Amino acid sequence: MWRDLATSLRIGPRLVGPGEPLFVIAEIGLNHGGSLDRALAMVDRAAEAGASAVKLQTITAKALVAPSCPAPAHVAEPSLRAFFARFELNEDAHRAVAERARARGLAFMATPFSLEAVEMLERVGVDAFKIASGDLTWDQLVRRAARSHRPVVISTGMASLSETAHAVACARLGGAAGLALLHCVSAYPVPRGGENLRAIATLADAFHVPVGLSDHGDDAFAAPVAVALGASLYERHFVLEAADGSVDAAVSSTPEALSALVAAAARAAGALGTGEKACTPDEAVNVTASRRALCAGRALPAGAMVHPDDVVALRPATGLAPGRIGELIGVTIGRAVAAGAPFLEGDLASARESRSEREVA
């Protein structure tokens, strides 16, 4: 099974993979609005909410979009260059966010949107690189991130399985220290019913790496479902307040919502159990009261032969199990049995002893 074949990786202080707690990435993204103070506050709140990592998007507008590049469907701006320029954070700001993250016990991740960004993030000491869905086909960027010998997490929005396979090959050949994939639907927000969460298992079966979900839904409904489908990672845009004007607020969770989804994901993981079908300790206390035993349907005197009409199956299971009725019919019992009382193992033993004595005589 793919869960047994997937190889775990380490991102910062945490192991990520099957059998490990869900690795929750609080995607600061562009929601800091270009403010380092805001980004640092978001790190603090993400830690309090139970995230495993925070992630920045490392952008230089001129290295990202051509002057004439049209805006995507979810961005209403006349100039994408001017738009993205508002969210540029310099190297010192990245270093400050990384230091705050580590001080709060979080991993620090970033999405580089240029080759130069990879170099800068190496200097900062990023714990893992995230390749954005839109850059999955940019082989040079994938290879450059992999050559850092750090873990690489690749988001697969808009990608086919063959395109994903090519990106995985680039990362592996480049020397990535570990590899994970995120199923993603690159719509903002994802229409309800369009999440295609079964693709999580499809990716895991195909590539035998830890797989998760980059969630662009309008709420975090998908988080426990993703866990049930085998997700090891979960990424969610993060915002300090729902109505604070952040650019990705429509697909972001507040600290309170992030805390709730972390708890829901943990509950889902616990509910999945081991898959072994057996009586659990929690239900074992109910076995006797819930199951039945073979009982006398009428009062039987000692020496009576048991006929089918003399037997009923009643709770609790304090006597012979119902499946043993064939052993009981025709037995001459050596004791009186009150109506409703259970037949016992000793009734069969006494009958066998009497039969043996008669055969010897």
For residue range 304-314, list pLDDT tens digits in order.
999 999 999 99
Say whether pLDDT at 79 is over 90. Answer: no
pLDDT at 1 over 80: no
Q: What is the topology classification, in CATH, of domain 2-272? A: TIM Barrel (3.20.20)
- Return the pLDDT at 252: 97
Is residue 77 predicted with pLDDT exceeding 50? yes
What CA–CA distance (Å, rounded) separates 96 from 110?
Answer: 13
pLDDT surpassing 70 at residue 54: yes
Q: Is the pLDDT assigned to residue 360 strictly greater than 60?
A: no
- Burial tier of 212 (Cβ tally within 10 Å: 0-12, 13-18, 19+): buried
Are 171 and 150 a contacting pair, CB within 8 Å?
no
The one-letter amino acid at 160: S
Least confident of 83-87, 266-270, 344-348, 357-361: 357-361
> 76-80, 136-140, 147-151: which range is least confident on average?
76-80
First to last CA, the chain: 63
Average pLDDT, integer, range 77-95: 92
Q: Does the domain made of 281-360 have the CATH classification 3.90.1210.10?
A: yes
pTM above 0.85, yes or no: yes
Contact 213, 245 (CB under 8 A): no
Work out the average pLDDT over 109-121.
Answer: 98
Amino acid at position 75, single letter: V
| Residue-range domain boundaries for the chain | 2-272, 281-360
Q: Region 126-132: what's the mean pLDDT?
A: 98
- Express each pLDDT in 292-333 by its tens digit: 999 999 999 999 999 999 999 999 999 999 999 999 999 999
Residue 15, strand partner residues: 10
Give the helix ranges, DSSP H, for the chain.
2-5, 36-49, 61-64, 80-85, 91-103, 115-124, 139-146, 161-174, 199-207, 222-228, 255-272, 281-284, 287-290, 325-328, 345-360
Residue 5: per-residue pLDDT:
53
Q: Hey, what are 101's tokens?
A: 């993250």
What confidence category does residue 75 fall into, taking pLDDT thresholds of 50, 70 and 90? confident
Distances (CA, A) of 3 to 180, 227, 255, 264, 334: 13, 12, 31, 21, 57
CATH topology identical between 2-272 and 281-360: no
Q: What is the mean pLDDT of residues 248-259?
A: 97
Which of 155-159, 204-208, 230-234, 357-361 has the lowest average pLDDT?
A: 357-361
d(CA 311, CA 144): 78
Kindly report the average pLDDT of the chain as a whole number: 94
Structure token digits, residue 290: 């819930």
For the purposes of burial, counting CB atoms within 10 Å of the CB of 332, is it exposed (0-12), middle (13-18) or buried (19 or more)?
middle
